Amino acid sequence: MGTPTSGYVYIATSEGLTQSYVGVSASLLDMEWIAKFGVDNLVWFEGYSDVALAQTRADGLWSMSEDQRRSLILSGNPTMTDLSPRIWGSDKEEA
């Protein structure tokens, strides 16, 4: 059995993919509030067993340029598909 996840680092983008937001959360299920930042497409995330490790990773992502973040996203999500429906279990418009 794997190590339990206690923190996530994520990148959310705007609809036009013109801006991104890096965040840390204890749960990906309670993130509807990110839309207030003008970003509402969850396009990348990593889980960590320790929130401090997640925060350290986020610090590194914050120091990246938008182009570097885009490359990271594309390496795991080449179509930059919004992953939130997979996490939340339904279309976010219906939630």
Q: Tell me the domain boundaries of the chain.
A: 7-88
Tell me what pLDDT residue 4 has. Answer: 66
Question: What would the CATH number be for the domain defined by 7-88?
Answer: 3.40.1440
Tell me the per-residue pLDDT of 32-86, one tens digit each, with 9 for 90 and over: 667 777 788 899 999 999 989 999 999 999 999 989 999 999 999 999 999 988 8
Torsion (CA) 18, 24, 25, 30 in degrees, nearest 10: -10
Comparing C-alpha atoms, which of 94, 86, 84, 89 is closest to residue 34?
84
C-beta of residue 17 within 8 angstroms of C-beta of residue 42: no
Sign of CA dihedral 60, 61, 62, 64: positive
pTM, two decimal places: 0.81
